[in-house]
Amino acid sequence: MRYLGVEDIDDLVAGATVLGGGGGGDWYAPRQMLLHAVQTHGPVQLVAAADLAPDAPVLPIISAGTPSALVEMFHGERESVLLRALVEQRLPRPCAAVLPVQPGPVNALIPLVVAAQLGLPCIDADIMLRCFPAIEMTVFTLAGIPAAPLFAVDARGSSVVLDAPDDSTVSALLRSCMPHMGLVAMVSTYRVTAGDCARLTGGSGLTRCMRIGRALRGCQGSPDGLAEFGAVTLFTGVVAELLHRTTGGFPRGVLTIEASDPARVMRIDFQNENLVATEDGVVVVTVPDLINLHDADTGTVLQTVDVLVGQRVHVVAMPVGGSWHTSEGLALAGPRAFGLQVDAVAAPSANAVGG
């Protein structure tokens, strides 16, 4: 896959919703942004990091918008230009390509929009491998690369440059700026080269995302379509209860799914994304692996914000891949990193669950 065109967009959205793991924001406005960008600027070139000059700087891009604000105030056309100028002020050379950060329903698409707007190619990779909610939960962090300096711009032309000795402070500083930026900002973070990307990012993030989406759409949303990616259906039942509570500023929740023959109960703890799946008191799978709810009647992969009591759902686990299952990876993105006092449990293989 060398170019991403209009015909690829819906596969990308579908795959990104799977990699969203229950979160990642509303895809509609970003999808419309990408549609218009490709219609205006032509198909976006995807490049392998290894095909760029190793010392060429790249432009990592993530939209930090709160979904309920982003649907009202999604990006204009000058944020990408302003952001690139801010970043390149501190670089010896111009950026050679855009780098996706988070492969979710919003942020698998926004970097492509930016690439189209700036006339740059987009690296066919990302640095999270699935949606995580914090900007430091990336393979770059595992490699010891700091998130700072972090640049953020908003639609009105406000901008910030944030620097701090550790990533959690950078993150906290960004959260404190967001309320004054309308809760929507376009962000660039991590000062890296194409060589860093070639060394640290694994294969074909966006292309793989589109393959997942194509497989899912080819099966009308049935989890069977994802078997080739290691997906396993753990449970099928009806959503019986859905509880939300806000702890420490972050909305969290628990949903309970019941099956009737035989009687089983599954509990999913979530905070934006689905974090832990527990059946009859036993933890079955946790982050960093993917846990998704597929609507059994419509085939839609549900985000936690869309789940309704009474829906019939399949609970589907999929391995995240990469180096997330190392002790450093689990410390950064396992359940305990989200404040849940359980050890990580990897997604079962198809054999373990009886195929």
Partner 1 sequence: MSGLRVGVALTGHRAVAVLIDHDDAVLAHHAVEASSLPAGDRSPGRPSRAMYQNGDKVGPDVPDPVHRENTAHRAGPRAATGGLIDLLGRVLTCLADAPTRARVERIVVATEDPVGLLERPVELAPVGILRIAAPATTSVPPLTGWPPRLAAAVRGPVAVVGGGHQYDGRELAPLDLAAVAAFGRACRGTVCAVAVAGAGAPTNPVHEERARSVLLELLGPDVPIVTSHDVGGAGLLERENTVVLGAAVAPAVEEFASAATSALVEAGVDADLYLVTGDGTVLPAGLAIRHPLALLGAPHGAARGAPVEAGLFSEVAGVRTSIRPLRVAETPEAVRPPRGELAAAIGAATGQASGTVDAVFFYGEGGRDECVATARRSARELAIRRGADPRTVRVGEVREGAMTYIPVRCVRLRVTATGPVMATGGLR
Interface with partner 1 (CB under 8 A)? 23, 25-26, 28-29, 32-33, 35-37, 39, 66-69, 71-78, 113, 117, 133, 155-157, 175-176, 178-179, 182-184, 244, 249, 251, 253, 272, 304-306, 308
Question: In this complex, which beta carbon is closest to partner 1, that of residue 39 or of residue 349?
Answer: 39
Pairing of strands 59-63, 122-123: unpaired
DSSP string, 224-283: GGGGGGT-EEEEEEEEEEEEEEEETTEEEEEEEEEEETTEEEEEEEEESEEEEEEETTEE
Question: In this complex, which beta carbon is closest to partner 1, that of residue 94 or of residue 179?
Answer: 179
Task: Classify burial at 275, counting beta carbons within 10 Å of its beta carbon; exposed 0-12, middle 13-18, buried 19 or more.
Answer: buried
For 71, the 3-state DSSP assignment is coil
Question: In this complex, which beta carbon is closest to partner 1, that of residue 71 or of residue 143?
Answer: 71
Minimum distance of partner 1 from residue 204's CB (angstroms): 26
Query: Torsions phi, psi of 77, nearest 5?
Result: -110, -10
Q: CA Rg, the chain, in Å?
A: 19
Question: In this complex, which beta carbon is closest to partner 1, that of residue 24 or of residue 288?
Answer: 24
Question: In this complex, which beta carbon is closest to partner 1, that of residue 180 or of residue 199?
Answer: 180
Question: In this complex, which beta carbon is closest to partner 1, that of residue 201 or of residue 272?
Answer: 272
Per-residue H/E/C for 105-167: CCCCCHHHHHHHHHCCCEECCCCCCCCCCCCCCCHHHHCCCCCCCEEEECCCCCEEEECCCCH
Question: In this complex, which beta carbon is closest to partner 1, that of residue 72 or of residue 280?
Answer: 72
Minimum distance of partner 1 from residue 51's CB (angstroms): 28
Is the link from the previous residue into 223 a cis peptide, with omega within 30 of 0? Answer: no
Minimum distance of partner 1 from residue 120's CB (angstroms): 16
Give the integer Cα–Cα distance in Å for 64 and 40: 25
Give the integer Cα–Cα distance in Å for 282 and 273: 20
Minimum distance of partner 1 from residue 186's CB (angstroms): 10
Question: In this complex, which beta carbon is closest to partner 1, that of residue 28 or of residue 229?
Answer: 28
Minimum distance of partner 1 from residue 140's CB (angstroms): 20
Per-residue H/E/C for 181-230: HCCCCEEECCCCEHHHHHHHCCCCHHHHHHHHHHHHHHCCCCHHHHHHHC
For 313, the 3-state DSSP assignment is strand
Question: In this complex, which beta carbon is closest to partner 1, that of residue 37 or of residue 345?
Answer: 37
Minimum distance of partner 1 from residue 80's CB (angstroms): 9
Minimum distance of partner 1 from residue 307's CB (angstroms): 8
Minimum distance of partner 1 from residue 156's CB (angstroms): 6
For 9, the 3-state DSSP assignment is helix
Q: What is the dihedral of CA 189, 191, 195, 196, to 10 degrees?
A: -70
Helix or strand run (H / E) with residue 83: helix 79-88
Minimum distance of partner 1 from residue 78's CB (angstroms): 7
